[in-house]
Structure 1
């Protein structure tokens, strides 16, 4: 399954490597293009090589042939050529393999160990490469080049590897295994540097190694500005540091190098996941702000995507999975998506079912994906009631799956008083995305050991709950409530009915001028000064935040994302206690003619819409409807604005592409653009 996945996503030739012939064939069956079988050798004799050659003929593969025979790795030029000739003869003459499909690795050993046996390793390898191509010019060659400098100082290795590469290419080497970041062009080397390297490689004596070490003891290679503290870190620490910094550009080269010494599964499942947990802890404690959390999440996703071809572990059905959605009747998705981002980057599988999610959609996903928890999100007050209703139905169905509840309007008291009593299963009250990570972590442990029980009480449950004594509120009858002054003249609207203003009718610069920049930056983007000096915060604003604000203003227009519309109108209305009755625009002419004094009972049936407003639970006990006339028709102005549907589509593109910071910034700005339109209207 892993090889099939790689075959679908990687356009380059795949190179399977396996010690068992049947395993190799299983891998080859999954590859649609021309593969390259790696590590072909004579270590186990000719019988196994014959089997590999038959596979190569059957599946049309190339072969990487190592100069290893029954005695082990060939060390001298003569030994290397003898093994290479045996392999060539078996492949070409016995099995009829095209010699152009053979790539020989003559191997090399380090010249940095001080061992006399390997002192001339570079010479033996170079001569083998040169003679091999003289005898068989049609074959290819490769080499794990950095083995030549194994054990030496990392900066010194860069110089030695670079010089050795130059001579290997001159000898005829057709490919090489090396990180190009760790190669210095010979033109940038001093004559002395090159001479010291060549002496160790090609004219070694008892002093060559010590001379080399001494020469490069204080030599450094430009390292893209990395500071000493970073350079002193281990590879694991560097990866974690780059994730915490959200440094995507430096991370990819870092893991490309690291995967050669660290199992990619370990990089993802231990180093990166642990670092993301630190990000979550910093976010939860207020030490890391939302924009930087999103940068780290972007870096995490990009790194995992990059390492995916090298991962050997497949997703298991037992992986802890959450289905999450915004509940029915609620279209807000940013908070829910933030939870998705942080949970996904902490190693959990998340099934995001979107917005306006009815219970059946949750349950279908639960059955299809065999999830371990259901997450219900919703910032609206009415969303909390939907959560309660969902739990009641789930309880009636006998379900006890853990449920995570979260949203701006949700409170601990509501969860304790109205949700937990009606549902037997565990309910986790999540104040934020970090609580979601903690809750899912406990659910994961519970799944592994159900006997240990599941503690659903998080930080939001730990504080002592202070019960407020609620006074009984008795709202007096309508006739006893003092009404506001209704003697003011009824205004005459410019027209009756509705009109629409679209993009071409509006001054976009004027709309942008109404955008509350402070609200965008602090409330939506999350750039706050907490934990920062005044100077540091001002620097962040001037160098990062304000330029981003201006950039998005330009892009919204240039990309035609901002497609505003304003729907507004004036309608006749009349109040009836807490209700406001709206009438057809035609009745507006009666208001103009002062001929609209019919009794309320005679006109109530003609109402086209009825708004119901709650009353205050304290004096003067008013409702919004009280400010409109009840004895005759009044006038109400209604407005509806939109920044346009293109923002939602663009935000989805950014979210799906893993550009989480940009996604959050575009969404926050577009929300305030809608607010600005309301001001303009």
Structure 2
């Protein structure tokens, strides 16, 4: 007992000291033990000593044994590291557990070796603290990953087999951890984690030890990633998935070690530092292995330390050390290099349900409904049950795969069947899933009514899954015991609305059971609310028994109550139960599931067990069927069931159409191909290409002959201004189809006579941005001119762009972005290119970019060429000059001179003299609020518009920007009669009308909106928004920026807050807000065209989605002006609407009057935008889908659009203070508007 008390007191004291130290500076961990032992050149006899001189196996290499046979060697290594500056030394116990020691036949020595390893380190630490009493030395008990893996099969013939079980690992780790603590360790570190399931077993053992010993022990985790250029560990998990898998453990720190060295670890540690709200550690290898070097590794202390210092400078680190190949010299230089650098500030991370398979799934208030695949359930799928009973597990895997492919984000696995060994079936199937990365990427819901089956499942899953389910059916004691174990295993939990009385079937019983369960879990177990999922029982309606008719309504209302009264909790349900009365009638069941989900989601349903491949789209359910279904679900009248049964017989389908031939078909094949290319005709391209191949004999001859002849004509016409971008894109579609036909023949010839490339261009829309129409057009035009273009798409982070550039062997990189935060991301890419010593040209393009910004803000971060490309019409010339050995030097010299001129002119111009923010506020917009009577909107709160008729939006389309997107300048409708571009504009317009008609008729896109009105007052430059009319509860505060430019007398320095009545006026004013999208379905529709090599129609689809989104915003604003009352007398045609000849404004965050994109986050919260519309915000606050618009509504007659313009630091500081953000963050988001 005394030893335990001493350990408890020592650990408690050390933990407090270490926690304080972590707040003050970066803490140093030691370097490699194995490297230092190798330097000692010990013999077999050194390892054996007297005690093991007759051992039957070779013992050299069993480093942990040296704790017993040569303890002075280990003690001296510890002292060397402490004297070099290490604060924490790790015990020489990496393999001191029975699993690894079995290789030497020394399993029985596990506890002794762990104990002695900790004792030797403790002696060294105590000796050092006598030498340096001002320093505290900490002993970390090192726990390695063992030599076995619980997640990976070692038998290729039997992928479900494992060399070790979870419980065997727990037993081995428990014995090791106990020896370490008893031997004198201050903390425990589970390190070099290559299999997350092994580490979960280690932490399970540590937490059991903590429970048994009765006091807390600090725990650290350190993962290793061994594949260069990959963000996945050995078993396939991403960084975020790993963190989600272990964040249930009460860790002191999390980090990375080993791997391939500092260079390869950099992007991984950057990602982890942004995820974990606890200290982050890193101790990489000293580069790559090199047996010719003294340490066996490539990085010397002099090359190692500066690379790690970069990470400290970046603010990513709290603890730092070295792994394989590092020595006391490495640690000494590390200490010197980080001297004076502050430790990483811990990020504020919102409590969220964070699940994982091989990939992460975070469930937030903004998340869409989570689909849980239901077909891997023997109770719910007779087909799946038959496969499992017959032992056809490979076939059963295809069911799981199909669920994931059809959109299931979690898969529910249930093996409860009377004739099955459920435990064995669960073990086998989950082990097989682990070997299938396309299935294992999603989290697993382990579903059983038997605790033994649930526990087997928990012991198989390396990610963070969900247990489905536990309940109060057997009383509180069992409920609490099972919940505590689930928490220790690291899973979320489904709690059924079931107690000692039975299943809760009414609204009152459901909420009673759920509330009681919630309190027990949160107050007695310490279960995080965000990891609790309630299933308030989806029960079958329309059974013929009147008391069952309200079951669906009770579930929906219980869901609403849970979301309002049990903070953080989620709600799920087995959706298919609701329609069981209609089994055999799939169309009706699918409609019922979709309608039930629709109303459940409106009430707050977070997830549901559904067949992801058999869900009708709610908006596409025929209105007559939908009415009958909802009458049943919502119990609207007693005859609902009978009417639905009768109506179900009438559900039917439709058929489709066909095409034509033309006169030019009689021409020779060369002319037919040329005609098709110039006119953009694809109907006969395969047939004509086949004929040309037969005539010319070789695919390259067809490409280099008639096809390129036709494309050269296209290029000439485009260059002469006789052909315009829309036609060029159509031509590219034809060329792509022809090449696609020839591809198999080309592949056969590739080795003998490869096609000459004009150049390779890598393109990407940067991280945080979703806009890509302009980039896509540039890519098509470059393709047409013989360049090989690799388009990485949207939202692409810097490290992936640069990795791809090397893999693709790019000749240049093109970056695109539409929103202002993308400018910072482009700067980041430029900095990374410079750091990694790229020399490729970097092309910058997109709506927010400019020559001046590129020269001043981007080019100076990269030593290679940086060029601004205005649009597609300029891209070919720029790329052509860059690829020409003759023209390139002069072209780059001129670019550098032009950029230098821009930089000098920017420097000379300096900052404009602006008013102070206080002076600007003195000149705020003058509004006489005493004589102004505000109108109250028709309602307070929000309304959602789902599946708004697309045909109602068409009259509101402003077509001028559509032509601008295709680089045809001019206003609609005058552009149609333009002397130069008129005929081509008319052709483009006709194509747009055809596709628009198809989009509207076939509901290719879904229009959704949410909008609302709220009481509001202005306080200074802020707008406070209230929840309801009594203005007792503030919902949020919008922060506006004020013009600081000097204005002539009589002109005001505007801020949007000026247009809302100030608090002191006593006027009851209101603000509106909205978010609309027509982008759902747009990307998918555009992708369908790309599959057919039809870039023209693909780009057209996205351009029309954008136009419809803007039209929706205009249409909704008109509706709002009526509902608010101030626009009821309007008589405006579309031209007047486009020119905004009406009262009121709808400014959007990110635009000139409201330049801060982050204000969208407040709008998203108030309107619950993601749940209501499916729209999301990226980390740069770009809206997804791209075809989306959001903003605020102001009704005052004097409200007007204006540009905030440049602002000074006094306003930035004031703004940052009002928003409770740092000045650095404010400057980052508002960098284009800074006047300094």
Could you state the TM-score of these two structures normalised by the residue count of structure 2?
0.32
Offset of residue 292 of structure 1: 0.7
Task: Tell me which residue corresponds to 1:292.
Answer: 727
Task: Tell me which residue corresponds to 1:623.
Answer: 1055
Partner deviation per Cα, 1:588-609 (whole Å, 9 max, x = no partner): 422xxxxx7xxxxxx9xx6634
Task: Tell me which residue corresponds to 1:516.
Answer: 958
Offset of residue 445 of structure 1: 4.2
CA contact 2:925–2:1053 (8 Å) conserved in 1: no
Residues 343/584 of structure 1: CA separation in 2 closer, same or farther (3 Å cut): same
Residues 484/524 of structure 1: CA separation in 2 closer, same or farther (3 Å cut): farther
Task: Tell me which residue corresponds to 1:305.
Answer: 740
Q: Which runs of 5+ in 1 are unaligned?
A: 1-222, 591-595, 597-602
1:473 corresponds to 2:913: yes
CA contact 1:442–1:454 (8 Å) conserved in 2: no
Partner deviation per Cα, 1:120-157 (whole Å, 9 max, x = no partner): xxxxxxxxxxxxxxxxxxxxxxxxxxxxxxxxxxxxxx
Residues 371/301 of structure 1: CA separation in 2 closer, same or farther (3 Å cut): same
CA distance in 2: counterparts of 1:463 and 1:401, whole angstroms: 18
Partner deviation per Cα, 1:438-475 (whole Å, 9 max, x = no partner): 333344445xx9x9758347899989978585772312
CA contact 1:581–1:607 (8 Å) conserved in 2: no
Offset of residue 378 of structure 1: 1.4
Secondary structure of 2:696's counterpart equals: coil
Instruction: Spell out the pairing of 1:450-461 with structure 2 (5 A cutoff).
Output: 453=889, 455-456=891-892
Residues 383/626 of structure 1: CA separation in 2 closer, same or farther (3 Å cut): same
Aligned match for 1:564, one of 990, 1007, 1016 = 1007
CA contact 2:773–2:1103 (8 Å) conserved in 1: no
1:665 corresponds to 2:1106: no
Instruction: Spell out the pairing of 1:337-416 with structure 2 (5 A cutoff).
Output: 337-416=776-855
Aligned match for 1:248, one of 670, 675, 682 = 682
1:264 corresponds to 2:264: no
Offset of residue 280 of structure 1: 4.3
Secondary structure of 1:455's counterpart equals: helix
Residues 525/676 of structure 1: CA separation in 2 closer, same or farther (3 Å cut): farther
Q: CA RMSD in A?
A: 4.1
CA distance in 2: counterparts of 1:407 and 1:540, whole angstroms: 25
1:655 corresponds to 2:1087: no
Residues 611/280 of structure 1: CA separation in 2 closer, same or farther (3 Å cut): farther
Secondary structure of 2:1030's counterpart equals: helix
Instruction: Spell out the pairing of 1:216-231 with structure 2 (5 A cutoff).
Output: 225-226=663-664
Residues 289/536 of structure 1: CA separation in 2 closer, same or farther (3 Å cut): closer
Task: Tell me which residue corresponds to 1:108.
Answer: none
Aligned match for 1:283, one of 697, 706, 718 = 718
Offset of residue 376 of structure 1: 0.3
Residues 305/614 of structure 1: CA separation in 2 closer, same or farther (3 Å cut): farther
CA distance in 2: counterparts of 1:247 and 1:364, whole angstroms: 38
Secondary structure of 1:475's counterpart equals: coil
Residues 460/237 of structure 1: CA separation in 2 closer, same or farther (3 Å cut): farther
CA contact 1:404–1:427 (8 Å) conserved in 2: yes
Residues 227/291 of structure 1: CA separation in 2 closer, same or farther (3 Å cut): same
CA distance in 1: counterparts of 2:898 and 2:830, whole angstroms: 23
Residues 453/236 of structure 1: CA separation in 2 closer, same or farther (3 Å cut): farther
Offset of residue 584 of structure 1: 4.5
Residues 456/405 of structure 1: CA separation in 2 closer, same or farther (3 Å cut): farther
Offset of residue 433 of structure 1: 2.3
Offset of residue 335 of structure 1: 0.9
Offset of residue 418 of structure 1: 2.4
CA distance in 1: counterparts of 2:895 and 2:697, whole angstroms: 36
Task: Tell me which residue corresponds to 2:943.
Answer: 499
Q: Which runs of 5+ in 2 are unaligned?
A: 1-660, 1117-1236
CA distance in 2: counterparts of 1:460 and 1:532, whole angstroms: 40
Aligned match for 1:483, one of 892, 914, 925 = 925
Secondary structure of 2:1061's counterpart equals: coil
Secondary structure of 1:374's counterpart equals: strand
Partner deviation per Cα, 1:239-273 (whole Å, 9 max, x = no partner): 55542333434655544343323642133246544
CA distance in 1: counterparts of 2:769 and 2:1042, whole angstroms: 21
> How many residue pairs are counted as aligned between the two chains?
434
Residues 407/568 of structure 1: CA separation in 2 closer, same or farther (3 Å cut): same
Task: Tell me which residue corresponds to 1:611.
Answer: 1039
CA contact 1:475–1:621 (8 Å) conserved in 2: no
Offset of residue 281 of structure 1: 5.4
Residues 376/480 of structure 1: CA separation in 2 closer, same or farther (3 Å cut): same
Residues 336/508 of structure 1: CA separation in 2 closer, same or farther (3 Å cut): closer
Offset of residue 646 of structure 1: 1.1
CA distance in 2: counterparts of 1:418 and 1:536, whole angstroms: 38
Partner deviation per Cα, 1:397-416 (whole Å, 9 max, x = no partner): 33322211111232222222
Secondary structure of 2:1018's counterpart equals: strand
Partner deviation per Cα, 1:149-180 (whole Å, 9 max, x = no partner): xxxxxxxxxxxxxxxxxxxxxxxxxxxxxxxx
Instruction: Spell out the pairing of 1:52-131 with structure 2 (5 A cutoff).
Output: none
Instruction: Spell out the pairing of 1:433-444 with structure 2 (5 A cutoff).
Output: 433-444=872-883
Deviates more, 1:607-616 or 1:293-302: 607-616
Offset of residue 384 of structure 1: 2.7
Offset of residue 485 of structure 1: 0.1
CA distance in 2: counterparts of 1:489 and 1:305, whole angstroms: 67
CA distance in 2: counterparts of 1:432 and 1:246, whole angstroms: 22
Rg larger in 1 or in 2? 1
CA contact 1:273–1:346 (8 Å) conserved in 2: no
CA distance in 2: counterparts of 1:524 and 1:343, whole angstroms: 15
CA contact 2:768–2:822 (8 Å) conserved in 1: yes
CA contact 1:439–1:458 (8 Å) conserved in 2: no
CA distance in 2: counterparts of 1:611 and 1:295, whole angstroms: 46
CA contact 1:486–1:629 (8 Å) conserved in 2: no
Offset of residue 678 of structure 1: 1.3
CA distance in 1: counterparts of 2:894 and 2:723, whole angstroms: 20
Residues 545/572 of structure 1: CA separation in 2 closer, same or farther (3 Å cut): same
Larger relative contact order (C-alpha < 8 A, sep ≥ 6)? 1
CA contact 1:251–1:299 (8 Å) conserved in 2: yes
Deviates more, 1:636-645 or 1:622-631: 622-631
Secondary structure of 1:399's counterpart equals: coil
Offset of residue 641 of structure 1: 0.8
CA contact 1:643–1:674 (8 Å) conserved in 2: yes
Deviates more, 1:241-250 or 1:334-343: 241-250
Partner deviation per Cα, 1:542-572 (whole Å, 9 max, x = no partner): 7x55654543343223322232112001234
Task: Tell me which residue corresponds to 1:555.
Answer: 998
Offset of residue 645 of structure 1: 0.6
Aligned match for 1:418, one of 838, 852, 857 = 857
Partner deviation per Cα, 1:5-56 (whole Å, 9 max, x = no partner): xxxxxxxxxxxxxxxxxxxxxxxxxxxxxxxxxxxxxxxxxxxxxxxxxxxx
CA contact 1:525–1:668 (8 Å) conserved in 2: no
CA distance in 2: counterparts of 1:274 and 1:624, whole angstroms: 57
CA distance in 2: counterparts of 1:415 and 1:536, whole angstroms: 33
Offset of residue 425 of structure 1: 0.9
Task: Tell me which residue corresponds to 2:1030.
Answer: 589
Residues 269/417 of structure 1: CA separation in 2 closer, same or farther (3 Å cut): farther
Offset of residue 498 of structure 1: 1.7
CA contact 2:736–2:1093 (8 Å) conserved in 1: yes
Offset of residue 621 of structure 1: 2.0
CA contact 1:322–1:374 (8 Å) conserved in 2: yes
